[in-house]
Amino acid sequence: RKEVEQDPGPFNVPEGATVAFNCTYSNSASQSFFWYRQDCRKEPKLLMSVYSSGNEDGRFTAQLNRASQYISLLIRDSKLSDSATYLCVVNLSTGKLIFGQGTTLQVKP
């Protein structure tokens, strides 16, 4: 079983739709949590950190449930420019990042 599991998709949604991604992690000692975005043939870039209290950045909302070891990302009012792969990432206490497989989002006009 992978340490971080995500549905690879693809998720095909129309512009303006709301879309949600989920991931689960297996290591209960995980310290911090993130969503990264990766465009085709580009490097991953930090989208946002994820906290138990939930956090929002514009159209993006991230949530962490430590008890269920579950992380989510909600994108409202999808834009064409949101098309990318979204990587769920866990940081162990050592600092190394453990990535999920990534979920591909394609926003259609």
Q: Which residues of the shown chain bind other proteins in the complex (CB under 8 A)? A: 4, 8, 31-32, 42-46, 87, 91, 93-102
Q: Which is nearer to other proteins, 68 or 94 (CB)?
A: 94
Q: Min. distance of Cβ 9 from other proteins in angstroms? A: 11
Q: Min. distance of Cβ 88 from other proteins in angstroms? A: 8
Over the range 54-85, which residues count as b (16 or more CB within 10 Å of their CB) and which as e? eeeeeebbbbbeeeebebbbbbeebeeebbbb
Q: For residues 62 and 35, give the distance between their C-alpha atoms in angstroms, rounded to a whole number.
A: 8
At residue 102, what is the residue type? G
Q: For residues 99 and 109, give the distance between their C-alpha atoms in angstroms, rounded to a whole number.
A: 30
Q: Which is nearer to other proteins, 95 or 109 (CB)?
A: 95
73 and 101 in contact (C-beta within 8 Å)?
no
Q: Which is nearer to other proteins, 45 or 108 (CB)?
A: 45
Q: Min. distance of Cβ 16 from other proteins in angstroms? A: 28
Q: Min. distance of Cβ 85 from other proteins in angstroms? A: 9
